[in-house]
Amino acid sequence: MEKKKFLSNLSKINKKKNLSEKDRIEFDSLNFLELVEFNDINFNGLSISINKLRKCKTAGELIKLYGNQIK
């Protein structure tokens, strides 16, 4: 997935207008479930632990978890 598209989807999940890699992200329980569902739909077969997802403080940290899945 392209980084721009990922950030656009992430901003929708976080209910923010635009996100850059440097922006802080915070997930409440509903947003977190939306992120998990987004991952299941768009990154089939990619396994990222919930604990690693929760530790991410910025969009850039989250992108790094996806490795080469986000370009």
Confidence band for 45, pLDDT divided at 50, 70 and 90: confident
Label residues 54-67 b or e (16+ Cβ within 10 Å = b).
eebeebbebbebbe
Dist. CA 52–CA 2, nearest whole Å: 21
Kindly report the pTM of this predicted structure.
0.88
The predicted structure's pLDDT at residue 16:
86
Look at the domain 3-69 and name its fold: 1.10.1200
In this prediction, residue 27 carries a pLDDT of 87
For residue 11, which of 54, 63, 51, 52 has the smallest C-alpha distance? 63
